[in-house]
Amino acid sequence: MSERIGEQGKSRSILIAGAGPVGLAAALELARRGFLPRIVDDGSGPTPMEESRALGVNARTLTLLSPSGVANHILAAAQPIERFRVRSDKKILIQLDTREVKGRFSAVCALPQGSTERLLMEALSVYGISPEWQTAVVADAMSDPRKPEVTLRRTDGTSETVRPDILIGSDGAHSAVRKALGAGFPGEALEAYFYLADFRYAEPVDTHFGEISLFDPGMVGRLPVTADIIRYISTLENFESRIVHPAAIAEKTWASQFRINFRHVEPMAKGNVFLAGDAAHIHSPAGARGMNLGVEDACWLAWLIAEGREQEYSALRIPAVKQVLKQTYALTRLITMTNPLAIAARNLFAPLLLRFGPARRILLQNVAGYDTPRPPWIDWAE
């Protein structure tokens, strides 16, 4: 589909609050269409390399980042996840080959968030744009979001008032932009905590598969981070004793714990202020959709701005957001269940169901992120 880019439209001033993966993707997609967005972040640089955070890059994100050339760089740097399996004790309940999904890319690969951000920054620098670090967006309650006004406060003590034509709030779960809009963030927090630890091994290990080991109750997931680092993620606080390490441990590179929230804002825009990524929706890491859904918001928003149709953004994104939240909620409940009868039923029926082609196909489509509307500006089949 051709893109309508009016020269006048391109001169609109755009401020992006937050240079995480979502803000960077928005900036890049705008820049390659001829816009010159300004992107600011209150941090001092991209996500540190040892804090891998979002790992799974799905096929839809690769499609979206193909026109900018970033997808090829991601594929060159990422660990392919060829197989994914779910086991209970020694029994394999589910085994999926991520390459079975139709299309150019396998369903998912793994790249630490810090690497993805650096690749996006590199591509952005070609257009002469770099994030302005240590620059916080501070916003009072916005009386008229059609004419956004915010203060940029730098750590050197200087500040500046800006009135962009368009303000994109990609400033994460505690978004100052969302709060300035007076928008709620309804949803729920699960009782369960998730714990994670990344281990570097003394030698390269098999990184070609992801795995969930189910216990009674609880789970430990295993995902590759790099050729010699594996991430373990669990609902059990003492999970490290359950890990079967594939080689001698060189070091624990990162550990963290977090409580799972399922929340989203509705609508995702008011006037000329737009929310994307974690600023608009948060959910569990089950299914590795968090960052991918945010990158999808960013790419749709950039396209709509270029088309002069940004007022359609919220209506187009909300159904996709709700669907992904519903799915990740169901998946999270499935892996965190504690009732012994429910656990026994899950362990019996899930493998039976996934013996059927259609069920496997649907699951793979979800992992690939192909269950949300296709980007209409990309004219090749995914």
Ligand X SMILES: Cc1cc2nc3c(=O)[nH]c(=O)nc-3n(C[C@H](O)[C@H](O)[C@H](O)COP(=O)(O)OP(=O)(O)OC[C@H]3O[C@@H](n4cnc5c(N)ncnc54)[C@H](O)[C@@H]3O)c2cc1C
Give the footprint of ligand X on this chain (CB under 6 A).
Answer: 17-23, 40-43, 53-56, 113, 136-137, 170-172, 176, 256, 258, 277-278, 285, 288, 290-291, 294
28 vs 137 by CB, closer to ligand X: 137
The owner of tokens 């009868």 is 341
8 A C-beta contact, residue 304 and residue 313? yes
What does DSSP assign to residue 225?
E
Name the residue with tokens 């998946």: 331
Q: What is the rounded CA–CA span in Å between residue 146 and residue 274?
A: 11
* Cβ-based nearer residue to ligand X, 170 or 226: 170
Given the complex with ligand X, which of 5 and 190 has the nearer CB atom?
190
β-pair partners for 373: none
Report, in Å, the least distance between residue 44 CB and ligand X. 9
Who's near 339: CB < 8 A, 6+ residues apart?
Answer: none
3-state helix, strand and coil shares in percent for the chain, rounded to the nearest 5: 35, 25, 40
C-alpha count within 13 angstroms, C-beta hemisphere, residue 287: 28
Q: DSSP string covering 172-220, please?
A: -TT-HHHHHHT----EEEEEEEEEEEEEEESS----SEEEEEE-SS-EE
| Shortest CB 40 distance to ligand X, Å | 5
Using the minimum distance from each CB to ligand X, give the nearer residue, 18 or 145: 18
Minimum CB–partner distance for residue 41 and ligand X (Å): 4
Q: Based on CB atoms, which residue is closest to ligand X, 132 or 144?
A: 132
For residue 257, the minimal CB distance to ligand X (Å) is: 8
Nearer to ligand X, 31 or 40 (CB): 40
CB of 331 to ligand X, least distance (A): 13
> Shortest distance, CB of residue 137 to ligand X, whole angstroms?
4
> Which phi and psi (to 5°) does residue 111 adopt?
-145, 130
